[in-house]
Structure 1
């Protein structure tokens, strides 16, 4: 295999992988499987990390913290969600949707009056909808075609400028880059006034541009968080990392640029 990503056939992760790899693509059922296989087999994995409308992809954020991986590249994909059904002329009583797809299409879905059932992927949504004449799926055009569904309504995403950012994960860091981003997970392991201000102040004092900050539960206690930070590559990063490590636990996920498309 050359690369692993979330499957089955027709997911946006699969589409992103096909844009940047010409070799074999192994499609796996869960995000955790992608991370585990990338570690065990020493191959790259492609996972979605954030969406312009729905925000961070929680399972990916958690796996970045849990698994010993590095980010070695990023890429962007325009996202188009469609409503598809086996019987497009009939009533729809249930709609299958991945949680992220549900969130990204909630404005249309809320008007349909159907039960929403969450699935593991857009392809799984199409497969489950194909089993019933009164079901529909929020899915991709490729997955709808693969499962023999008819698209009932195109582009049901909340906004038409819907973009997902993907990252490539590997068990070893990538080569040094002169432009792009560096990613960190910062765990202060304490809660006190001014803590986040001090952390962000390190980047400000070194004129480093933060491109993203995201908080996630530490899973130790309610109200206790870790911070995911992306910063533009620039002089002073080594100094910032040293100062951060003097006040918090830091996982350096690597510095990287855009993945080259084939």
Structure 2
């Protein structure tokens, strides 16, 4: 099965696909392009959905809202960032970094007081740093080696336990809905006092554990939001979903297993 993920070569998404021995792997320049390609039937996709330091990945959440796709697996990968450049640190005049990478390394970046230019991926940061005088990039060790950029400072992430959660997306959901985790998109069509309380109460009264809840602008106007929920399956899950449909608009994003990532 073809797997589509974020390129160019050297991104963490690409590294994950290689670790999982996906073949063939197709690289797209943006997460939006990954979703569009999967929706067109060109293969499954692997996208980052949240990071332990920087939180949810907006492009992925927007893609799940826009496209009728399902999550069929999740993967967790430790993420370590490095600063690499062709010149010494005291000569650096600009740093290239992906926005999520910037947030995950904000403490180190603030210490140097150097302007940061955002890029579409860590690999793109390496490419820009190589062609810009007195520039550096924040990227993975494998990307630094791939693009022949010497590492000047290693493991510069704010948290040594920095981890990114990835999901595999597909046009067809998993055959079984008894996997350990499920994801749900809630798109309220009304705004009233107590709505969120009622939504969460559907899970609380059935002792269904919510492992994540996140809001995201619905793109329908100021103050209008959709909610992403992850929850652990129990015997009352189907009953909870039936009650939710009576309260608001929901879309089941799928129930899925966790796949361990080889070191």
Q: TM-score scaled by structure 1?
A: 0.96
Question: Which residue number corresponds to residue 59 of structure 2?
Answer: 59
- How far is the alpha carbon of 1:49 from its aligned partner? 0.2
In the TM superposition, 1:86-105 aligns within 5 A as 86-88=86-88, 91-105=91-105
Does 1:71 pair with 2:71?
Answer: yes
Q: Which range moves more in the overlay, 209-218 or 140-149?
A: 140-149
Task: Assess, with a 3 A threshold, how the Cα gap between structure 1 residues 86 and 190 changes in structure 2: closer, same or farther.
Answer: same
Separation in 1 of the partners of 2:215 and 2:187?
Answer: 10
Task: Assess, with a 3 A threshold, how the Cα gap between structure 1 residues 14 and 128 changes in structure 2: closer, same or farther.
Answer: same
SS of 1:142's partner is helix
Separation in 2 of the partners of 1:214 and 1:227?
Answer: 6
Question: Which residue number corresponds to residue 229 of structure 2?
Answer: 229
Question: Which residue number corresponds to residue 121 of structure 1?
Answer: 121
Task: Assess, with a 3 A threshold, how the Cα gap between structure 1 residues 89 and 205 changes in structure 2: closer, same or farther.
Answer: closer
Separation in 2 of the partners of 1:24 and 1:245?
Answer: 39
SS of 2:8's partner is coil
Separation in 1 of the partners of 2:137 and 2:196?
Answer: 41
Query: How large is the RMSD of aligned CA atoms in angstroms?
Result: 1.4
Separation in 2 of the partners of 1:42 and 1:134?
Answer: 40
Question: Which residue number corresponds to residue 169 of structure 1?
Answer: 169
Number of residue pairs aligned between Structure 1 and Structure 2: 262
- How far is the alpha carbon of 1:88 from its aligned partner? 2.9
Does 1:188 pair with 2:188?
Answer: yes
Per-residue CA deviations over 1:173-205 (Å, capped at 9, x if unaligned) read: 112053321100001122211110000000011
Question: Which residue number corresponds to residue 18 of structure 1?
Answer: 18
Q: Which range moves more in the overlay, 180-189 or 87-96?
A: 87-96
Does 1:3 pair with 2:6?
Answer: no
Separation in 1 of the partners of 2:261 and 2:103?
Answer: 28
Q: TM-score scaled by structure 2?
A: 0.96
SS of 2:111's partner is coil
Separation in 2 of the partners of 1:31 and 1:8?
Answer: 12
Question: Which residue number corresponds to residue 140 of structure 1?
Answer: 140
In the TM superposition, 1:217-256 aligns within 5 A as 217-256=217-256
Mark the runs of 5 or more structure 1 residues left unpaired by the alignment.
none
